[in-house]
Amino acid sequence: MKANLSEIMESIQGEGLLAGSRQVFLRFTGCNLRCEYCDTPASYEPLPWCQVAEETGKGDLWSQIQNPLSVQQIGSLIKKYSSQWISLTGGEPLLWPDFIKELGDYLKPQGYLLLLETNGTLFQQLEQCLSCLDMISMDYKLPSTAGADYARLHAQFLSVAAAKPIYIKMVIDSQIKRAELESALETITDIKPDITLILQPVTPRGNAAAPSMEQLLDFQQLCQRKIADVRIIPQIHKLMGLI
């Protein structure tokens, strides 16, 4: 079994509950959504080559491996890195559920832990590989930022994902409305009220503008009426200029 990846590298995790930890990133190509604020549009389509970072945290020394890659190839390539955590990111990695299951079955006996970073819409694909995941970083797409209402899909996804350690990441821009945030909170807390919610101010891109700190604090207070653990965490790798 093989998959198409755009890059393999080791760096620090810049988002979510594991922010600051050292991780290996496997960036899968393909995505079923087209969010305006997406910071990895190059991974939308399959690529002929996968870039592999030769050194941790440096963006000037890469090798190219022809796509698609097998599980065994990936296992061999990541041996030069020191991280225990493997981030499955994209694009949308759940477009490759059978591959993820095989990859997990191959890597976990070697002591690796798998973090799935997902847009939180492909619940049927999640069911196929859920057993090999150690943590799930689930996006919740608000209509004003995603261009569509994915509440039903998010609810179905969260119902499946709640069997694993999970947190929700919600990208916040300056156009977010309180009403859509309140609706999202109802969807989330109906399924998993004890979840950690991370409000991530958008890194400005295209028409997406960052919210003010006043907006963020107001939204955090609103969310805390329903969810106890609500954190504001920006993309720290962007702030630090890291790949």
* C-alpha to C-alpha distances, 50 to 31, 73, 77, 169, nearest whole angstrom: 17, 12, 11, 27
Selection from 10, 18, 11, 25 nearest residue 233 by Cα: 18
Question: What does the domain layout of the chain look like in residue ranges?
Answer: 2-240
What is the DSSP pairing of strand 85-89 with strand 62-66? unpaired
Q: Which fold has domain 2-240?
A: TIM Barrel (3.20.20)
pTM: 0.94
Q: What is the pLDDT along the chain (243 residues), one digit of tens a residue?
A: 999 999 999 999 999 999 999 999 999 999 988 777 776 777 788 999 999 999 887 667 899 999 999 999 999 999 999 999 999 999 999 999 999 999 999 999 999 999 999 999 999 999 999 999 999 999 999 998 888 999 999 999 999 999 999 999 999 999 899 999 999 999 999 999 999 999 999 876 667 788 999 999 999 999 999 999 999 999 887 777 665
Contact status, residue 232 vs residue 170, Cβ threshold 8 Å: no
Q: Give the span between the Cα atoms of 123 and 22, in whole angstroms.
A: 28
